[in-house]
Amino acid sequence: MKDTITATTQRRLKKKDLLNKILEFLQKENKKAFNYKQIAHAIGADHPANRIDVINLLDDLAAADEIVEVSLGRYKAKSNRGTESIGIFVRRSNGRNAVVIEDEQIMVAERNSMHALNGDKVRVVISATRKGQEPEAKVTEIIEAKDQVFIGTLKVEKNYASLVPDSKFLAADIIIPRSKLKGGKSGDKAIARITYWGDDEMNPRGEIVDILGRKGENNAEMHAILAEFGLPYKYPEAVEKAANKISAGITPEEVAKREDFRGVTTFTIDPVDAKDFDDALSIRQLANGNYEVGVHIADVTHYVQPGSIIDKEARERATSVYLVDRTIPMLPEHLSNGICSLRPNEEKLCFSAIFELDKKANVLNYRIGRTVIRSDRRFTYEEAQKIIETGEGEFSKEILTLDSLAKELRRKRYDAGALEFERAEVRFEIDKDGKPIRVYFKESKDANKLIEEFMLLANLTVAESIGKVPKNKKAKTFVYRVHDNPDPEKIANFALIAQRFGYKVNAEGRAKEVNKSLNRLLKDVKGKGEENMLSILAIRSMAKAIYTTDNVGHYGLALDYYTHFTSPIRRYPDMMVHRLLQRYFDKGRSADKLKVEDQCKHSSDMEQLAANAERASIRFKQVEFMKDHLGEVYEGVICGVTEWGLYVELDENMCEGLVPIRDLADDYYDFDEKNYCLIGRKNHNKYTLGDKVRVQVARADVDKKQLDFALLADDGNPNKPLRTEKKSNPRAHAGKKHSGRGGRKRK
């Protein structure tokens, strides 16, 4: 793993040199658009004062028509257009359609769109750029129509029917012939496909693909969220039937091929509502005083054969999806909750990593192989936590020993430079109809961390067993879970924000030192108003973890080798890892890297979609919950600042809402992107990240999953600033450029 974050150059450049460097860079990269940060970094303008110079020079060059600001804050070299190009069409419900060509967005009027849909690959003719005018494009051909559906609410009248879409990518209702309604009625939530959209027609025509249920009903809304992200909300009947034919098959012949752990103390620790138990721990003390700890993982690939109908479905899904009130499993229930689930007092087939540990949790030996187990007990996290806290309960000796070993493993990880992100998760108490009646926070305690540490140990050991090869030997193709080094610029920006709150983050140097300073900050902010906001920003400064065959290490865990081995019931990459392990244990040749990499990319993409759907379901429930609290006043913290307003997270329940900039009626506010704040032009009031505010719940739009707040002053008067900064010398602001955009004038 790379061990340093590159330090930035601190030499200040002259403005004339900067100007030439900017133009040279944009002309060299004339097919792409860049923001000021990317440009500054590319030309070596890393001095803080130079970055401000770059912002101002870009504004001047764009105003002088020397370069083009293709979208807010993104610039590229001028080009004389008038030629054909190919790009991806972006349709928006507000009518601001565009085509994206090499990162540049060019406006497309609706009359020139050929009714292309969002994501369609199109051929366009671009008008030549005139001074003071933005270029426009006209679609001449839809080269490749993206297969897509729209979710919305049916409106069935006497003479016609239509679907009113929820989508932000389509403003027009879809006309549905009565013969294509699939039995749908007014008020049903449904999925439709566009079948025809004539050039001279205002509305597309379509057909209903599926009826999800009545609008507002919990099942219908949850299914709509899944459909919105292209995720399945039901299991194909043929796959269910194939799964139901599979038997556990724990025969004497199969047991004889495996290491037998049925006589060793074994148990699972999972959430109280879990049904798919894919990991168990065993522990016994050896004659030499050391401990043998087994991490036993459900042997899913024993039952799911490559290329089978079940495998194809699992490969396509790639992950289970966890919404607020349900799990949409990757595997059929007969497998995920049945024969593969490590339920107590049942013999189960496993793929296991077995460790010999001394009392300081040093790994002295390990082995990986197929086993058979029999779990003695199913613990919930709460039950295991009670044993850890009181020292009393069934298998207390074993749990306390594992807890002690886990704490040693954890201490060593942090000493090695691993990051310690521990943000509380939002959870809902839901009634029988799916309505949220209470919001609470779920925090990770010792019982959770116990399981986490041994899963991490198994994952890194499996990755090392294949990836760590002797000199002059070629590593075999394998699936790694990697987390690249963060962008130095993002870390530097985060360090500046943290500094405003009085915290020091080392933005340069060895990764271990940077991470230690981040961990120190995360510890120091615990329980403070800025905790949540700084934790989120710290996470956002990191790269995303992905699956790949190219191992670059895991920055966040400070590991050179890491994979996912421990959850094959709910993650397809874990199934891939199990198969590759057995292949190489059997002396098989290295797998096809391109095929494995393709599946890694698909799995990473599906993981992101599942995470987006989960967030959308949380957002939906938050808005639904707050709908019953309209007009109520809450304390909160500004967690986001944009050109269109302030995002505020409530202290009491972590619900997030927007204070629209148009509602800040006391002044005209500008967005200062560099300093994450809105600044009033007249009164110089400032609203910035981390500010404590009082807000009133103003609007709760469940359909749009949108929550709006009104900012309150201390006297409870809406639209009066909560905090006023000391006015600066007006002369100091005269003639200055505003570094951001946005604002609404008082009406």
Spell out the SS3 assignment of 318-342. Answer: CECEECCCCEECCCCHHHHHHHCCC
Compute the distance between CA of residue 522 and CA of residue 510 in angstroms, rounded to an integer. 19
Element housing 427 (H / E): strand 425-430
DSSP string, 236-299: -HHHHHHHHT------HHHHHTSEE-TTS-EEEEE-TT-----EEEEEEE-TTS-EEEEEEEE-
Identify the burial level of 418 via C-beta atoms within 10 angstroms of its C-beta, where 0-12 means exposed, 13-18 middle and 19 or more buried. Answer: buried
Q: How many CB atoms lie within 10 A of CB 147?
A: 9
Confidence at residue 743, expressed as pLDDT on a 0 to 100 scale: 37
Residues in the chain: 747
Confidence at residue 239, expressed as pLDDT on a 0 to 100 scale: 96
Helices (H) and strands (E) in the chain, counts: 18, 36
Tokens of 427: 């959870």
- In the chain, the amino acid numbered 434 is G
Confidence at residue 615, expressed as pLDDT on a 0 to 100 scale: 92
In sequence order, what E strands does 333-400 have? 347-357, 363-374, 377-380
Confidence at residue 662, expressed as pLDDT on a 0 to 100 scale: 87
Contact 197, 204 (CB under 8 A): yes
Compute the distance between CA of residue 341 and CA of residue 273 in angstroms, rounded to an integer. 14
Q: Which residues contact 547 (CB under 8 A, 6 or more apart)?
A: 479, 480, 481, 482, 564, 573, 600, 601, 603, 604, 607
Tell me the pairing of strands 266-270 and 377-380: parallel
Q: Is 738 helix (H, G, I), strand (E, B) or coil?
A: coil
- In the chain, the amino acid numbered 42 is A
- Closest C-alpha to 132, from 54, 95, 78: 78
pLDDT mean by block of 10 residues, the chain; 747 residues: 48 77 84 83 79 83 80 74 80 84 83 90 80 78 90 91 89 92 94 90 93 94 93 92 94 96 97 92 97 98 96 97 93 95 97 97 97 97 97 97 97 89 82 90 92 98 94 92 87 83 82 84 79 79 92 92 97 98 96 97 96 94 94 90 90 91 86 82 85 92 90 56 40 36 33
Confidence at residue 3, expressed as pLDDT on a 0 to 100 scale: 54
The residue behind tokens 């590229």 is 76
Q: Is 344 helix (H, G, I), strand (E, B) or coil?
A: coil
pTM (two decimals): 0.82
Compute the distance between CA of residue 174 and CA of residue 188 in angstroms, rounded to an integer. 14
